Amino acid sequence: MTPRSIIKKATWTLGADHSQGASPPIREIECTTCQDRSEASTDQLGPDSWALRHAGLTGHTGYREIVTAFLRATPGPGKGQLPTP
């Protein structure tokens, strides 16, 4: 890192990406007994319904929810752009 690329102390926040075109969280549910899993979906109902159907068909009762959430780091108020090298 060169002296030109040092970033002055700034407050940043990290949170859900609400920018235009950003994807909502993507969810899957995986059976912890047989590792079968639902389709990935941005809708909660699809994976949940899959898990309940799977439980009814197999008697398997343990599940893991897998969520991929998209985040964005944002500089605090009054902070400019990052310096270019």
pLDDT in tens, 29-77: 999 999 999 999 999 999 999 999 999 999 999 999 999 999 999 887 7
Cα–Cα distance, 44 to 70 (Å, whole number): 16
49 with 6: CB under 8 angstroms? Answer: no
84, pLDDT greater than 50 = no
pTM over 0.75: no
Cα separation of 33 and 35, whole Å?
6
Beta carbons of 16 and 69 less than 8 angstroms apart: yes
Which pLDDT value is given to residue 81?
A: 53
Cβ atoms 31, 60 nearer than 8 A = yes
